[in-house]
Amino acid sequence: MKKIIYTILLALLMAPNFMQGQENVGAVGSMSSFPVVYKYDEQVTWYFDLSGTTYAENEDLYMWIWSPSEPDAGNWENSSNFAKLTHVKDKIWSFTLTPTLYFTKTPAEIAASAGFWFRIKNKNGSKQSDVANMPYTDFSSFYTANELIRSYPTKPTIDKGVSILFNANLAPGFAGAKSVHMHSGLNDWDIKQEYQSWLPEIVAKTKLKDLGNGFYKMDLVPKDYYNAPDGYEMKNLVFLMVKDDWAGTTPDQVLFAGAYVPPPAPVFGFFPLQLSQKDFLGMSRKNNESGVNKLIYTITAGSKVINGEFTGGTAEIKGFVNLVAELNGIPNLTEIHVVVKDNKNKTISDTKMPLKTLDK
């Protein structure tokens, strides 16, 4: 009897050991959704920036969500395919769902829940992110606000989503509309997406989503929707809403674009400014372009060639080359030739550095 009790006790003591062995990869970075605002019974794609985590770009990742409900419960060690994320680009993953269907809950139940709480894990659960919460923007105040138009965000930008809400009850002549379409353009009609009611694909593209009771919504990313060229500077988005086949229109509307904030310029530097054969050579690059995560160097010193690379993220890539050991005892060196490239094979620096002679 005693033996059995001891065995059980031992097993209990060891149990936590089996549960460990999990690697925490870090926090989920910025999150966004498209549509920007959505009802709980609408299909939505969530985007997660995981560039700050140690997940690799080609890693298969899964959604582990327990609020409002836990669709993949019991499968921590073998996530289901329906919970799988899609890699979009540069360590941004997406997850597409219709909340009411995914969580098997009514919109009211989801609204009353604690929100969307999750981790992002790998298939077998050996790696997981910190706990994260997907924010939700409640736009229901629009239904009673007596506003003709409201947009999320108030000032759209060219490469990010915008949701434009339209209250047709406040637009004379829109009663009984079968469909509502947006006739619009960028920068005072510089690039247009007209409502060409005779072209079926344009009719579909310009059609607003019917939220019921005379409320409509348009979701778009200006860059894609207007097929704007790269580097196009968006100043405004002008539009009017059209009932059926031009049976009625709203007055002209305008949304002013948010200030375009260019990313800070990359800064590359060596450390120290002057060095000898017996010093370490540091290099760092800050504000890297998205997708740049490596500095690959080739250092030539006389007949000696040193190759290597440093990894990092968009914030900074940094490392030190052990010249002290690599060049130890090589006579008559006066300079080194350093070539640094990024992982997209772009030359970052091609520099000849004189080596200082040390005082004895």
Partner 1 sequence: MRCKSIYWLAVMMCFFAIGCDNTDDGSYVDPITIYEKVNGNWGLTNLKMIDESAKANKIEPSEENLSTYFNYEDFKIKFNVDEKNSPTSYEVSGNVPPLFAPKGYWKLSSDFQPVNPTGATKIYLYSDAQKTQKTDELLITSIPGKNGEMELKLVHASGGVPFVSYVFKLTTIN
Contact set with partner 1 (CB under 8 A): 271-276, 278-280, 282, 320, 322, 324-325, 328, 356-360
Provide CB contacts within 8 A for 153, sequence distance 6+.
36, 160, 162, 258
Nearer to partner 1, 189 or 270 (CB): 270
Backbone torsions φ then ψ of 218, nearest 5 degrees: -120, 130
Distances from the Cα of 231 to the Cα of 158, 218, 227, 257, angstroms: 10, 24, 12, 15
Minimum distance between the CB of residue 269 and partner 1, rounded to whole angstroms? 8
Minimum distance between the CB of residue 306 and partner 1, rounded to whole angstroms? 13
Nearer to partner 1, 282 or 291 (CB): 282
Nearer to partner 1, 126 or 328 (CB): 328
Nearer to partner 1, 125 or 282 (CB): 282
Minimum distance between the CB of residue 360 and partner 1, rounded to whole angstroms? 8
Q: Which amino acid is at 275?
A: L
Neighbour count for residue 219 (Cβ, 10 Å): 19
Nearer to partner 1, 7 or 322 (CB): 322
What is the DSSP secondary-structure string of 293-331?
Answer: -EEEEEEEETTEEEEEEEEB-SSEEEEEE-HHHHTTT-T
Minimum distance between the CB of residue 354 and partner 1, rounded to whole angstroms? 10
Minimum distance between the CB of residue 86 and partner 1, rounded to whole angstroms? 36
Contact 61, 122 (CB under 8 A): yes
Helix (H) or strand (E) holding 12, with range, is helix 2-19
Peptide bond just before 272 cis, omega within 30 deg: yes
| Calpha distance 92→85 (Å, rounded) | 10
Minimum distance between the CB of residue 280 and partner 1, rounded to whole angstroms? 6
Minimum distance between the CB of residue 316 and partner 1, rounded to whole angstroms? 12
Nearer to partner 1, 278 or 346 (CB): 278
Contact 161, 38 (CB under 8 A): no
| Calpha distance 338→336 (Å, rounded) | 6
Contact 76, 70 (CB under 8 A): no
Nearer to partner 1, 54 or 137 (CB): 54
